[in-house]
Amino acid sequence: MEKSPRWWDLPSAMLLFAATLFSAWRLQSTGWTEGLEHVRNLAVLGLLLGLALGQSRFQRRGVILLSIGYMLVFFTWQWLGFIEFSEEQTYLGERLLILFGRLATDLGEFFAGRAVADQLLVLALLSVPYWIAGLYSGYQLTRHANYLASILPGGILMLVVSIYHYTVKDYTWMFGVYLFIALLLLGRQKYLLDRQKWLKERVQVSSESNLDLNNTSIVIAAALVILAWGIPYTLASHAEAKEAWQNITGDWRLTDRLEDLFDSINKEKKPQPRNFKTELALGNQTSQSDLVVFLVYVPEVALEFPRLYWRGQIYDRFEENRWLTTGRDEVRHDSAFGDLEIPDTENRRRVSFTYDVYTDGQIILYSAAQPIWTNHDAIILHSKPAEDDGAMDVMALRASPRLEAGDLYRASAMLANPTIPELQAAGQEYPDWVKEKYLQLPEDFSPRIRDLAREITADSATPYDKAAAVTEYLRSEINYAPGITIPSEETDPLEYFLFERKQGFCNYYATAEVLILRAPAFRRGWRWDTPRASQIFKTASTPCANATCTPGPKCISPATAGSSSNRPGTRSRLTVRLNARSSPLSFRRPTIRSVNCRWRKTNSPRGNRMPRNVQPWYRPG
| Dist CA 359 CA 356 (whole Å) | 10
Question: Does any domain span residue 518?
Answer: yes
- What pLDDT, on the 0 to 100 scale, is given for residue 19? 94
Check pLDDT > 50 for residue 266: yes
Cα 507 from chain centroid (whole Å) = 26
10 Å Cβ neighbour count for 522? 20
Do 60 and 168 lie in one domain? The reply is yes
| DSSP line for 478-499 | -EE-SB----TT-S-HHHIIII
Which amino acid, 577?
R
pTM of the model: 0.50
Sheet containing 317-319: give its strands across: 279-281, 322-324, 317-319
Q: Where are the alpha helices (DSSP H) in 532-601?
A: 558-561, 592-595
| Dist CA 39 CA 41 (whole Å) | 5
Q: Who has greater pLDDT, 528 or 68? A: 68
| Dist CA 399 CA 409 (whole Å) | 10
| Dist CA 558 CA 584 (whole Å) | 10
How far is the CA of 62 from the CAs of 51, 53, 66, in angstroms?
15, 9, 6
Domain final residue, candidates 234, 250, 266: 250
For the residues 526-544, what does the mean pLDDT come to? 46
| Dist CA 164 CA 173 (whole Å) | 17
Do 68 and 151 lie in one domain? The reply is yes
Question: Does any domain span residue 78?
Answer: yes
| Dist CA 48 CA 40 (whole Å) | 13
- What pLDDT, on the 0 to 100 scale, is given for residue 429? 78
Contact 260, 114 (CB under 8 A): yes
Range name among 17-21, 71-75, 158-162 with the lowest pLDDT average? 158-162
**Strands 393-403 and 279-281, bridge-based pairing:** unpaired
Query: How would residue 575 be classed by pLDDT, with cut points 50, 70 and 90?
Result: very low
Do 242 and 292 lie in one domain? The reply is no
357 three-class SS: strand
Check pLDDT > 50 for residue 208: yes
Sort 87 into a burial class: Cβ within 10 Å, 0-12 / 13-18 / 19+. Answer: exposed
For the residues 297-323, what does the mean pLDDT come to? 87
Do 237 and 364 lie in one domain? The reply is no
Measured in degrees and rounded to the nearest 5, phi and psi for residue 461 equal: -95, -35
Question: Does any domain span residue 257?
Answer: no
599 three-class SS: coil
Do 412 and 553 lie in one domain? The reply is yes
- What pLDDT, on the 0 to 100 scale, is given for residue 273? 45
Q: Which residues contact 273 (CB under 8 A, 6 or more apart)?
A: 328, 330, 381
Do 336 and 244 lie in one domain? The reply is no
Question: Does any domain span residue 263?
Answer: no
Question: Does any domain span residue 210?
Answer: yes
Question: Does any domain span residue 1?
Answer: no
How far is the CA of 540 from the CAs of 23, 115, 482, 503, 544, in angstroms?
54, 51, 10, 18, 12
Instruction: List pLDDT tens digits, range 399-414.
Output: 988 899 999 999 999 9
Instruction: List pLDDT tens digits, range 552-570.
Output: 444 444 444 444 455 555 5
- Structural domain boundaries, residue 524: 279-595
Check pLDDT > 90 for residue 69: yes
Beta bridge partners of 382: 329, 394
Give the angle subtended at the CA of 381 by the CAs of 310 and 371, to the nearest 5°.
Answer: 35
Contact 242, 273 (CB under 8 A): no
What one-character DSSP code corresponds to residue 456?
A: H
Check pLDDT > 50 for residue 215: yes
Contact 377, 318 (CB under 8 A): no
Of all helices (H) and strands (E), which one includes residue 101? helix 92-111
- What pLDDT, on the 0 to 100 scale, is given for residue 552? 45
Q: Who has greater pLDDT, 155 or 278? A: 155
Contact 351, 299 (CB under 8 A): yes
Check pLDDT > 90 for residue 138: yes
**Max Cα distance, the chain (Å):** 107
Strands (E), 88-202: none
Measured in degrees and rounded to the nearest 5, phi and psi for residue 436 equal: -70, -35
Instruction: List pLDDT tens digits, range 353-380.
Output: 999 999 888 889 999 988 999 999 898 9
Check pLDDT > 80 for residue 139: yes
Instruction: With both helix axes pointing from N to C terminus, report the angle between 447-456 and 463-477 in degrees, rounded to the nearest 10.
Output: 110
SS in 3 state form for 42-84?
HHHHHHHHHHHHHHCCCCHHHHHHHHHHHHHHHHHHHHHHHCC
Range name among 12-21, 24-33, 208-217, 509-518 with the lowest pLDDT average? 208-217
Do 38 and 75 lie in one domain? The reply is yes
Contact 298, 353 (CB under 8 A): yes
Question: Does any domain span residue 4?
Answer: no
Do 341 and 427 lie in one domain? The reply is yes
For the residues 173-185, what does the mean pLDDT come to? 89
Give the angle subtended at the CA of 184 by the CAs of 179 and 189, to the nearest 5°.
Answer: 125
10 Å Cβ neighbour count for 249? 13
Q: How far apart are the first and last CA of the chain?
A: 91
Question: Does any domain span residue 265?
Answer: no
Do 382 and 509 lie in one domain? The reply is yes
Instruction: List pLDDT tens digits, range 463-518.
Output: 888 888 898 999 999 998 888 888 887 778 989 999 998 998 888 989 989 888 88
Do 302 and 173 lie in one domain? The reply is no
Measured in degrees and rounded to the nearest 5, phi and psi for residue 58 equal: -65, 140
Contact 10, 139 (CB under 8 A): no
Number of alpha carbons in the 13 Å side-chain half-sphere of residue 114: 9
Q: Which residues contact 520 (CB under 8 A, 6 or more apart)?
A: 441
Beta bridge partners of 318: 323
102 three-class SS: helix
Do 292 and 223 lie in one domain? The reply is no
10 Å Cβ neighbour count for 256? 6
- What pLDDT, on the 0 to 100 scale, is given for residue 289? 75
Do 487 and 566 lie in one domain? The reply is yes
Q: What domain count does the chain have?
A: 2
